[in-house]
Amino acid sequence: MTSKTAQTSHQTIAQVVLEVLTYLLYIIVQFAISIVKTLTPYSLRTKKDIEGDVAVITGAGSGIGRLTALRLARLKAKVVVWDVNEEGVEETVKLIKANGGFAKGYKVDLCKREDVYRVAQQTIDEIGEVSILINNAGVVSGKTLLETPDHLIQRTFDVNSISHFWTTKAFLPAMMRKNRGHIVTIASVAGHVGTAKLIDYCASKFAAVGFDESLRLELDSGRYFDIKTSCICPFFIKSTGMFDHANARFIPRLNSNDVADEIVSAILYNRRMVVIPSHLSAAFVLKHVVPWNVYSSLSRFLVPDAHPEENSNKPTLPSFEKSSINKKAIDNNVTIKHRVLGTDVTEEERQP
């Protein structure tokens, strides 16, 4: 080996070592920043201003979607309600307008790609470019794999994950032009851990989690750092019509209002992954380090039946219960102080 070749080799090695040390320093700094952010109370964090932003929420005709829509409207965002349930859309719009917010509703079948693209363009033409997209709509079949009809499996994937591609492709270009926006994926703890009788549901939510992570990486690769994504992964939620009878031990079902609070918090504070309750994140790690028989028995012990037979004859789509507007509460401006966001929430809004 000539002296020139040896010198080149030594320079290459030195460069590689320098790059490795630089990256290790970057990792340490990022860990430090993450720890500081985690320990910083919300009252001291910078909160995003979404006044005037156009926010599309799928499945907002009832349940979590409606509660989230009411909160965003209170923060002065222009809320666009999408749902296949036309009556539910009208009711959500009515509730928002009664509280002084801006709302527009559209009937959309998320199982039909052409319908999604058509209504998306109509939304842009009539209201403006969308800067907040919340892929919230979800369905569950609640049967074992062999008991689940093919069309229900297809519907589960169409609504819970595939529709995210169509909605995001419709609204992302405008966000990219401005390098500003936020895309929220409502997934589930079931998007990280499997559960019996929820094979199609879990698989669709795993896909939703993967969609969010891959989209985030793609945006980072394109240096669109101001387009944020959030993935919300709640446990079973009460009062949505999906898991009202879920049989789970030790882990209580979640309150709909608390989940809606977390969704809005994720937008305002750019939180990437939100697991509710947060301690369940440990289960995601646990399943990779303990023997399968231990994990399997623990999972079956904690959730003996995610969808009991007593609920099998009930509608699997989130049910819509018609509610009236509490005129007195609105007129008297009866409010409850929001514990996380620092905004006022009416008594009527607290009802799922």
CA 234 to chain centre: 9
Active site residue 26: no
104: number of CA atoms within 13 Å, CB side?
16
- Nearest CA to 316 out of 78, 100, 72, 140 is that of 140
Task: Return the SS3 of 109.
Answer: coil
Exactly one of 23, 42, 117, 201 is catalytic; name it. Answer: 201
Following DSSP, what letter does each residue of 42-81 receive, concatenated?
A: GGGSPPPP-TT-EEEEETTTSHHHHHHHHHHHHTT-EEEE
Please name the residues in contact with 31: beta carbons below 8 A apart, sequence gap of 6 or more.
none
* Residue 6 in tokens: 């040896």
| Contact of 88 with 115, CB cutoff 8 Å | no
| Contact of 118 with 167, CB cutoff 8 Å | no
The CA distance from 198 to 306, in Å, is 7
First-to-last CA distance in the chain? 76
Write out the E strands in 151-303: 181-186, 227-234, 273-276
| Contact of 89 with 105, CB cutoff 8 Å | yes
| Contact of 123 with 173, CB cutoff 8 Å | no
| Catalytic residue ranges | 201
